[in-house]
Structure 1
């Protein structure tokens, strides 16, 4: 079982092998975490994403999938982009949210990464309830992935950090 570190902070400042980007399907930048990663990482990330769109991901990245690019000017080595699901009160999309975490870990492992930092995927503009997102993230990230030795959840604000922290305590 992976030990998961929770920190309140900025995902773009994490000194890890991989930072995970809560991307939109276009891979071409957006708001929230996606915009912050593209701004701070610089044009190399956008250029790499454009190459992905020109190739295998011509129609964009599907929800739950993950793909890696350079990290540009970020202190990480790579960015793994994943598209989280939009919250729905009428359709259970929790499997897709779990896939974001799982597939990002697998993509990082394929790169040879040992350390990875995640945001709270889908809890911003995609409106996923933080309590539910915390349970899904913590359960999925506890799964062993060979080669990954450090898993960090980087939570932007105190409220989100507190919810994740309470749920992590419940897991012990």
Structure 2
């Protein structure tokens, strides 16, 4: 059975602080004021062991309000390949981060016209007005279009964790990638997500799933219990 604990241990209220942030372009910096907001999270957190040093935590809430310490944490944005905002969680993250996020995403080099982050890859930017210090942008597959959707979805999670490690991120919060308008069935997506994270969680202290809807939350909780017996 998962360990249930209060999220207040992980999402705390703090006064505004000031941090020097590294942008996408190395060597470019900006002094920014970041306000640590109280998080709109559920009262329970389900905890599972990923490894002797890594944990998975599943909770309901608004991922734009999530943070751990405001310096070594990142939320994952289910972006599109242009990285300029969209609907669902992508749009909500851009709105909460403020216009600086879109401006910074414009500076991410295109790998081909209109594509800054191909499906399955990941990019990182500062979090700007978000409580979390960084945003890791990744693009999940469109379920009925991608010829190998499980591999593309696994790559999105794996590359997000790789980027986190490369940037000394210790705490990462994911949404349910591709489970919105991209149409990925919840049960299949949860299997890919949790299995991939279990395999590639090394050097990450905590991986969180912050899930907005009851349906997705219940599927993720059930699947974690099956794949990560404690």
- The verdict on a shared fold, with TM-score over 0.5 as the criterion, is yes
Inter-CA distance 49–90: structure 2 relative to 1 (3 Å threshold): closer
Match in the other structure for 1:9? 61
CA distance in 2, matches of 1:45, 1:129: 30
Which residue among 19, 23, 30 is the counterpart of 2:75? Answer: 19
- Structure 1 unmatched runs, 5+: none
1:68 to 104, 124, 135: 124
Q: Give the secondary-structure state (helix, strand or coil) at the position aligned to 2:208.
A: strand
The question of 1:135 aligning with 2:191 is answered yes
Q: 1:90 to 1:105 in 2, by over 3 A?
A: closer
- Kindly report which structure 2 residues correspond to 1:106-145, keeping only aligned pairs within 5 A, or say none: 106-145=162-201
* Match of residue 42 from structure 1: 98
Report the CA distance between 1:146 and its aligned residue: 3.8
CA distance in 2, matches of 1:135, 1:146: 19
Tell me how far 1:29 sits from its aligned partner: 0.3
Tell me, yes or no, if the aligned pair for 1:109 and 1:145 is still in contact at 8 Å: no
Higher strand share: 2
Instruction: Tell me how far apart the structure 2 counterparts of residues 58 and 87 of structure 1 sit (CA, whole Å).
Output: 23
* Residues 102 and 77 (structure 1), Cα distance of their counterparts in 2 relative to 1, 3 Å cut: same
In our comparison, the structure showing a higher alpha carbon Rg is 2
Aligned residue for 2:199, secondary structure, equals coil
Partner of 2:35: none
Q: How does 1:27-106 map to 2 (within 5 A)?
A: 27-52=83-108, 55-57=109-111, 59=113, 60=115, 61-88=117-144, 91-106=147-162
Alignment root-mean-square deviation, CA: 1.5
Cα 1:89–1:29 shift into 2, 3 Å: closer
Between the two proteins, the alignment pairs up a number of residues equal to 170
| CA distance in 2: counterparts of 1:146 and 1:137, whole angstroms | 15
Unpaired segments ≥5 residues, structure 2: 1-50
Normalized per residue, the structure richer in helix is: 1
1:66-97 CA-partner distances (Å, limit 9, x unpaired)? 00011110001110000000002883310000
* Structure 1: distance between partners of 2:201 and 2:183: 28
* Cα separation, 2, equivalents of 1:14 and 1:146: 22
